[in-house]
Amino acid sequence: MSAVEHTRDVYYAVADPTRRRLIRLLADADELPLNRLTVHFSMGRAAVSKHLTILKEAGLVTERKVGRETRNRLNPAPLKELQDWLSYYEKFWKQNMARLDQFLREEQE
C-alpha cells in the first residue's frame, strides 16, 4: 500500500494519538479553525495542519471557508467502519467480564 493510499485509510488515520485528540476536540465542538486547534498541542501550526490533512483524506474531517478562515468539522460517518470492526470483538470482552463476575462471586462465598 502506498503512502497516499495509507493516509486515506480510517484505521491509519486514527492510529496516531495526535489525530485521535484532534477528532476528540472536533467532536466536542461544532467546528474549529486551525488556530483554535493548534493551541491544544505542543507543535506548530504546520504539523497540526498535516494531521488534519490525513483526517480529511480519510473522510473524518470536512472544512468550510468563512471569509478568510477555514473551519474544520468532524464527519463521524467513517468511524462506523471502526465500530463495526470492534463490535465483532465485543463478545470476547463480555465473556471475560462474565468469567470475572463468576470468579468474584465464588470468592465471596
| Contacts of residue 58, Cβ cutoff 8 Å, sequence gap at least 6 | 7, 8, 9, 10, 12, 13, 78
Residue 76: the pLDDT is 95
Could you list the pLDDT tens digit for every one of the 109 residues in the chain?
Answer: 444 444 479 999 999 999 999 999 999 998 999 999 999 999 999 999 999 999 999 999 999 999 999 999 999 999 999 999 988 888 877 787 888 888 888 888 7
Can you tell me which residue has the cell 506548530? 44
Class at the top of the CATH hierarchy for domain 1-76 = mainly alpha
Residue 100: the pLDDT is 84
